[in-house]
Amino acid sequence: MKKRQGYLRKDDRKNKQGSTIEKASFGDMTKGMKQYTPGTKEFQDRNKSINIRVRKGRRKNKFHGRTKTFTKASFPLRKDVTKAKWMKTMSNEEELILDVTLSLITGLSAGMMMGIEDVTSKAAMKDWLDLLSVSLPPEWNIHKLIDSLRMNFEDATKSKARFQEIVKSYPIARKGWSRSCQNRKLGSEGFSCGFWKLLHVITLGVAEQRGGRNLIDSGMMSPTTVVFSPSTAADTIRNYMDKFFTCRPCREHFLQTYDDCKNNRRCKRLTTNKKSEIPAEWKEISLWLWEFHNDVSVRLIGERISKTFTRGVKNTPTASDEVVGIWPNVNSCILCFQESGKWNDAEVFRFLERNYWPDSETDPLTDKLLKFESEGTSESWMPWFGAFLFVWIMYKLMAIQSHTIRQPLVSARLLYCRGIEKKMRVV
């Protein structure tokens, strides 16, 4: 029997219950994809690592419970960097989560002002929320808001005010994007940068989670979960941009480029097969968006240069100018280029993974992002102690300062009074 290339292949053997045993065939998959694909050693190792961290954390927090299986809704470990932390430099993953979260919420809030009364707008928003649910990393805390909107969709879309009310019930302490999204030279406010990060995470999530199929197979989500093919995922992004993206020139250019099937070979390269077993077909959506992003960057550079003049002559963008907008460059990913100068798609995909889909094998820095849901923590006293310490120090400083200021005032008052007494005696 010829071995089928892809994620899974059927074996003729039966287990004790008589169901078909599925054996893994995982060629052309990256390590990251394997970690989210049931049946791989990497998937099993990831689950063991999660269980170990949960057991250690629960012992530390004096909390006991089952740790064998997790669902997306009850996942005990969450990554949340929306709370401000004093005197702390953010890691790359923290910046990614922060920028994606802020841009997602900002986009939802602003997009609702465009209206959601018609049927097509409601369908676009529902599909967008479903796509976010299966594509963003399951341990990200932003799922609370996404799932709340999904589960209460009819109520949430009754009016703009009701939608905004639900969004505001999940406040964010941090109000600014990370340093990587604050390009002061270009006057960027961070939203555009963060939104591109969001789109890259979504398209990678479609590849890593196989459109949601891996989440169903692993028991993380219900069998009724909506599964997206690369093509339908791309269409969902397109429809969201059409109905809810507030930047009109950006929206119009995106739609014009997207609807042109010749652009990036989108129509031919993105499969409509939700059950595809070919890893390369799932990777295509990430590579397509990466090429799309590069095209936009090159176009914007050309537009900026075309608006400038040298000695009264309008400047024309050169090939050297346009190369600046292409990402990654040789310095950031030398393996992304073949000797011929062409792109190495396999390495580009790995590069995108490293930047937008951090390895689930956490290191000590990543572990600091994790917090336990619905559990008291032995370190819960620390914020209170810190607040008390801060108040006590300020009290002491003010007391010292007030004492220091009060002494000269008392002395001055005494001298003033004595001067008046002396003057009265003379009279």
Stated pTM of the model: 0.78
Backbone angles phi, psi at 407, to 5 degrees: -60, -50
Q: Which residue segment(s) compose the domain that 126 sits in? A: 70-372
Q: Report in angstroms the alpha-carbon separations of 93 from 46, 101, 363.
A: 18, 12, 11
Q: How many CB atoms lie within 10 A of CB 390?
A: 11
Residue 75 confidence (pLDDT): 76
10 membership: H or E segment, kind and range: strand 8-14
* Residue-level pLDDT at 63: 52
Are the CB atoms for 99 and 180 separated by under 8 Å? yes
d(CA 348, CA 139): 25
Say if 54 falls within a structural domain: no
Q: What angle do CA 118, 119, 121 make, to 5 degrees?
A: 70
Q: Is 63 exposed, middle or buried (0-12, 13-18, 19+ CB in 10 A)?
A: middle
Q: What is the pLDDT of residues 115-162, one digit of tens each?
A: 787 889 999 999 999 999 999 998 898 999 999 999 999 998 888 889
17 belongs to a structural domain? no
pLDDT for 214: 95
Domain count, the chain: 1
Domain for residue 281, yes or no?
A: yes
Residue 109 confidence (pLDDT)? 87
- What residues in the chain have per-residue pLDDT under 70? 1-27, 57-69, 82-88, 183-189, 359-427
Residue 224: per-residue pLDDT: 94
The confidence score (pLDDT) of residue 337 equals 93
Residue 419 maps to a domain:
no
- Whether 255 is covered by a domain: the verdict is yes
Domain assignment present for 385? no
Q: Is the peptide bond before 328 cis (omega within 30 degrees of 0)?
A: yes
Q: Is residue 240 part of a domain?
A: yes
Examine residue 394 and state whether it is found in any structural domain, yes or no.
Answer: no
Q: For 316, how many CA atoms within 13 A lie in the half-sphere containing its CB? A: 2
